[in-house]
Amino acid sequence: MFVRTMTIDEQVAYLMQGTEYGDDELKQAMAEELRQRLIEAEREGRPLRVYCGFDPRTSDLHLGHTVPMRKLRQFQELGHEVIFLVGTYTSLIGDPSDKDKLRPQLTPEEVERNALTYAEQAYKVLDRQRTQVRFNSEWLSKLTFAELIKLASNFTLQQFISRENFRLRWEKGDAIYLHETFYAIMQGYDAYALRADVQIGGTDQLFNIVTAARKLMTYLGVKPNIGIILGILPGTDGEVKMSKSLGNHIPLLAPPADMYGKVMSVPDKAMGQYFRLVTRWTPPEIEALERGMAEGRLHPRDVKMKLAREIVSIYHSEAEAEEAEREFIRIFQQGDLPEAMDEYHAQPGQTLLEILTASGMVNSKSEGRRLIEQRGVRLDGQTLNDANAPFPRSGVLQVGKRKYLRVTLN
C-alpha cells in the first residue's frame, strides 16, 4: 500500500479537494476540524475511521458513482481505516435527499443482488485488502421503537419540510410520507454505530451528514464526525448531474475505447471538476495543468487526452488506455474507421430505426429517433434522416461520434 508523505496542511488540502458546502464558513470549519483530528490521530498513533454509505439501488455503475469512492481511496493512501457501508437497511426506504418525488422502496433481495456487483466495481478504485465492508442492517434492524422515538426527538418537522426537495413537493401538493424523514435519522445512527471520525457524501447529503449525523453523535455522547461533502460530477454534457436516464453517463464497464471517447466529449469547462473528483491527481498536479492552460502553454485538447488516459487506466489498464488513445487519434483526428467493429445482418425491409434498436446501437426507439433528428446517424458518411425508411444498402453505420456498425443487407 502506497502511503503518501505529506504534511498535515498538505493532507488537509488533498482531502478537501473537490469539496462543496455552499457556505465558505462551513467549509473552513470542516477543514479546521479535519486538521485537528489528523493532528490528534498522529499524536495518538491511530488511523482515522472513515466511511461512506452506498445504497445499492442499481448494479450498473457509472463514473459519477465513484466520486466518494475516490475520496475513500485518498484516505486509504494516507493510512486511514476505510469502511464501505452497504445500506442494506436504508435502501429499504430509499434516500429522498436528491429527489423531488417519492423514491421507490427496494426489496431485501434486490438490495443484496445489487450489493454484490456494486462492491466488485468499487474495488476498481478501493484497495480490496484494506477496505472493510459493513452492512447497516447489523445495527438498524435492532433499534427498538422507543429508541427511534428518542433519536427522532432531536429534530423538528420544520427542519425536514424546509429542505428543498421536500419543500418543492409540499408546494406542488405532492405527498410527503413520514417514513422518508427516517432516512436522515438512520444515516446519522450509522455514523454513531461506526464511531466514525469522517463521513463522506455528495452535496445532496449535506443535511444527513453535517446536521443529522453530527447532532445524533453529540446527543449519544461521542465526538461528532467531520463531513467531507463532495461536488456532484456533471455528465458528458458538462451541465447536469451524470445520469444513465439522461444518457450523459460514462459506464464503469464501458470498453476502453468507448470510455476514452466519452471523456473526450466532456466540455472543456467541466474538466476541472473531473480533475478533482475522479482522478488520482494531487492539488499541485491539478494546479500545474490549469495554470498551463491559462497561460497558453498547454492545449486543452492535450490536457483532456491526459485526463481520458488517466480515467481509462484506472478502470482498465495503462496499456489499454494507450491503445484507446491511439484508436481515438486514428479515427477522430485522422478520419479513419475503426480496425474492428461489430457486424449486423439486416433483413430486407428492415427500417433504420429497427436496425438501430435490434443491433443495440441505441437503448430505445426514442433515443434512435432523437439521434436521427439531430443528424447523428450516417451510412458511409452520408446522413440518414428517415427513421422509418427501409435500410438502403450495406455499409458502415455510424451513430453519434463513437459507435460504428458494419451492416450487411441480405
| pLDDT tens column, 8-65 | 999 999 999 999 999 999 999 999 999 999 999 999 999 999 999 987 766 678 999 9
CATH number of residue 270's parent domain? 1.10.240.10
Whether residue 363 sits in one domain with residue 269:
no
Whether residue 352 sits in one domain with residue 322:
no
| Domain contains 94 | yes
Chosen domain end from 214, 230, 246: 230
Whether residue 52 sits in one domain with residue 23:
yes
**Number of other CB atoms surrounding residue 283 within 10 Å:** 15
Whether residue 156 sits in one domain with residue 54:
yes
Least confident of 95-109, 188-202, 206-220, 381-395: 95-109
| Domain contains 107 | yes
How much is the pLDDT for 100?
42
**Is the confidence at residue 99, as pLDDT, over 60?**
no
Chosen domain end from 291, 308, 333: 333
| Domain contains 322 | yes
How much is the pLDDT for 106?
67
Angle, CA of 267, 280 and 135, to the nearest 5°: 105
- Rounded distance, CA 400 to CA 374, Å? 9
Higher pLDDT, 111 or 79: 79
Whether residue 85 sits in one domain with residue 109:
yes
Whether residue 348 sits in one domain with residue 326:
no
How much is the pLDDT for 115?
74
| Domain contains 250 | no
| Domain contains 242 | no
CB 379 within 8 A of CB 409: no
Whether residue 308 sits in one domain with residue 261:
yes
How much is the pLDDT for 181?
84
How much is the pLDDT for 333?
67
Whether residue 326 sits in one domain with residue 198:
no
Whether residue 167 sits in one domain with residue 25:
yes
Whether residue 323 sits in one domain with residue 200:
no
Give CA 284 to chain center in angstroms.
24
| Domain contains 384 | yes
The predicted model gives 354-367 an average pLDDT of 90
Provide the residue count of the chain: 410
Nearest to 164 by CA among 232, 96, 118: 96
Whether residue 294 sits in one domain with residue 224:
no
| Domain contains 139 | yes
Average of per-residue pLDDT values in the chain: 88
| Domain contains 244 | no
Percent of the chain with pLDDT over 70: 93
Whether residue 352 sits in one domain with residue 212:
no
230, burial (CB in 10 Å: exposed 0-12, middle 13-18, buried 19+): buried
CATH number of residue 363's parent domain? 3.10.290.10
Report the domain count for the chain.
3
Chosen domain end from 274, 304, 333: 333
The predicted model gives 321-347 an average pLDDT of 82
Least confident of 88-97, 224-233, 398-407: 88-97
pLDDT band at 324 (very low <50, low <70, confident <90, very high): very high
**Is the confidence at residue 177, as pLDDT, over 90?**
no
How much is the pLDDT for 101?
45
Grid cell digits, residue 347: 433483413
Q: Where are the alpha helices (DSSP H) in 78-224?
A: 108-122, 137-140, 145-152, 157-161, 164-172, 182-194, 206, 214-219
How much is the pLDDT for 253?
86
Q: Which domain holds residue 319?
A: 256-333
How much is the pLDDT for 49?
98
Grid cell digits, residue 340: 474492428
The predicted model gives 152-161 an average pLDDT of 88
How much is the pLDDT for 98?
44
Instruction: Please write the tens of the pLDDT for every residue from 369-398.
Output: 998 998 889 887 778 888 998 888 777 888
The predicted model gives 340-361 an average pLDDT of 88
Question: pTM score, two decimals?
Answer: 0.78
How much is the pLDDT for 151?
95
